[in-house]
Amino acid sequence: MSTHKIAIIRGDGIGPEVIEASLAVLDAAESAFGFSTERMEVEAGAKHYLRTSELWTPELELRLRGQDAILFGAMGDPAVPPGILERGFILEMRRTFQQAVNLRPVKLYPGVKTPISGLTPERCDMVIVRENTEGAYVGRGSTVHAGTPYAVAVQESVNTRVGVERVVDFSFRLAQSRRRKLTLCHKTNILVEAGRLWQETVNDLSTRYPDVELDYVHVDAMCFHLPLSPERFDVVVTDNLFGDIITDLGAVIQGGLGVASSANLNLDGSAPSMFEAIHGSAPDIAGRGWANPIGSILSTAMMLAHLGEGEAALAVEAAAVHVLSQLPAPSGAGMGRSTSELGLEIAALLGVSGSVPPVPGRSIMGELAGMRELGGLGLR
């Protein structure tokens, strides 16, 4: 029996609720598929910071580095000024553990409502690969003459060949397991230097992958094409800032933030990868049982695929999608079930062999598991 060491960071707001639902599903997956997990609870987030003034610490880094994966809830609270938790914890974890790839599937599942009229599941099935450790999010900034009419703010963006290349190479390999199409999304006509580095890297690496078709879209044009013609895209690779923006648009297309999942992948096995829903902490609905845990549960499935539990990952995805398709609304108080009830309903399906059919089309769960088996992801 395989045993995986998992760090649990519940965080703030609705984070503890969606994690609790995810752990109920993880319990059921362990029983059904014959693996086990050793779970380490880690206290972090706004409440912890307000009480202790601690963010990312060397001690925490050491504790987490010994884990195989991290399951993350959400972080943020109005009592903590913007930027403190994001830069002091989340971005620091991504940088320290070199979680170079932020992987966000944009897939419209059957039976799920979308605000895009006429959009069908077979037209919306892509993966966005966001560079996760560079760009505007890690560059330093400064302000002079603050508080005066002559204030000047400077914010850097950092792009390195090695950072761009590892993400582009991952994207090519992922595209080979899908429809063999890779789209670079940037703004090369305005951000000339950074854009040139990205485009040259894509062009250079394309010689290794002659079977993958290349495409390019400006990020502003992407905001037009993504909702109207998502079938144009298979694997999209982009920088940190642009990826943050277009993946939220993608989440709306696929049914809302509550159903969107993500993985923050360390590619060389030197540190754990982290898995989280892409929604925030939503403190206004915390404790009400209104939070949709599907995004967190699908992120848990991605974690299982990354850990080599591909069969369990596909089953969790199928069970979650089956329940999701029965909901009267994608998120909010109109779900018809509470957060915990949804988790238990999905967990119950895992204990019944053949209870739900597999999800049609491609599955990022199967693709992650396959890349791991081929040595395309770092093993821990």
Q: Which residues are catalytic?
A: 137, 187, 220, 244, 248
**Rounded to an integer, what distance in angstroms lies between the CA atom of residue 325 and that of residue 241?**
32
Q: 307, 268 in Cβ contact below 8 A?
A: no
Give CA separation, 272 vs 10, 168, 283, 305, in Å: 17, 21, 28, 14
Beta bridge partners, 300, equal: none
**Rounded to an integer, what distance in angstroms lies between the CA atom of residue 278 and that of residue 296?**
8
Residues 6+ apart with CB under 8 A from 229: none
Q: 126, 236 in Cβ contact below 8 A?
A: yes
Tokens standing for residue 160? 């390195």
Tokens standing for residue 213? 């078709």
Q: 56, 42 in Cβ contact below 8 A?
A: no
Query: Phi and psi for 90 in degrees, rounded to 5?
Result: -65, -55
